[in-house]
Amino acid sequence: MKYASSLNAAVSAALILLGLSQVGCAGMNRSRSSGYDSGGRRGDSPGEISSQKTRERLASQRELGFTDDEMNGDNRSLVADRTALRAMEKQLEGKRETEQYYKNKPYMRSDRERMAFLSVDGFDDRAAWLEKRGVLGAKTPHTAPIQALVEINDITLGMTKQAVRDSWGEPELVEVAGNPVYGNERWAYSEQVPSNEGYLTEHRLVYFESGRVVGWEKK
């Protein structure tokens, strides 16, 4: 299929970018033995480039929660997709395009779908892509399983921020890690709960990465 071919090409290009971003200028005027590129900067050795790629792969593996024993064929493919996606995300330019992507990222179903989106050129064409596939950011209704949890005031991994709001209400405190556009946040709630000693205040913390729940704790 044309779509699959273009997406595979995008994945391959993204993986190549990981290497190219470490190499610097392709045409070097200095001797390779000098260790410097043509701009006078110290260049990365092949060993350093390999180490960087390994670190990026391991970071993707940790993000997805796979142990070394779980790195079978399917999981290796998922890790490769995540690594390629990170490379494509680094190529985003402009506030408008960056906000468009990160606003809609939580509502895309997979890293492959996110890469397909990023392989489309231009803000308007990407907006049309989102509309055609029904990816409408926070306007997207909850799936049936998520809606069932919202109705009983519960949350689960993978929930969007809007779903958590619908379930638990507005947080009392929002802490943002890094650039707000990335959706990495910690929300704080408190609630009075009954106990043998009367009502006690229970504190809840919800952690988000890329706009989706990755964990929570109660104190």
Task: Answer with the one of 95, 123, 138 that is the final residue of a domain.
Answer: 138
Task: Answer with the one of 90, 121, 138 that is the final residue of a domain.
Answer: 138
Same domain? 130 vs 185: no
Same domain? 96 vs 177: no
Answer with the residue of higher pLDDT: 15 or 129. Answer: 129
Same domain? 100 vs 33: yes
Residue 4 pLDDT class (50, 70, 90 cuts): low
Number of domains in the chain: 2
- What pLDDT sits at residue 24? 46
Same domain? 201 vs 105: no
Same domain? 189 vs 204: yes
Same domain? 97 vs 176: no
Same domain? 122 vs 157: no
Same domain? 155 vs 203: yes
Same domain? 44 vs 131: yes
- What pLDDT sits at residue 197? 84
Same domain? 34 vs 133: yes
Same domain? 97 vs 156: no
Residue 87 pLDDT > 60, yes or no? yes
Q: What is the CATH number of the domain that holds 165?
A: 3.30.1450.10
For 170-208, how does the pLDDT look when each residue is reduced to its tens digit (9 = 90+)? 999 999 998 888 899 999 999 888 888 888 899 999 999
Give burial (CB, 10 Å; 0-12/13-18/19+) of 130. Answer: buried
Alpha helices in the chain (DSSP H): 2-23, 46-64, 73-89, 95-104, 111-118, 123-132, 144-151, 161-168
Q: Over the chain, what is the mean pLDDT? A: 81
Answer with the residue of higher pLDDT: 121 or 6. Answer: 121
Answer with the residue of higher pLDDT: 3 or 103. Answer: 103
Same domain? 81 vs 23: yes
Q: Name the residue range of residue 159's domain.
A: 144-218
- What pLDDT sits at residue 10? 59
Alpha helices in 24-122 (DSSP H): 46-64, 73-89, 95-104, 111-118
Residue 36 pLDDT > 70, yes or no? no
- Indicate if the alpha-carbon torsion angle 107, 112, 118, 124 is positive or negative: negative
**How far is C-alpha 12 from the chain's CA centre?**
19
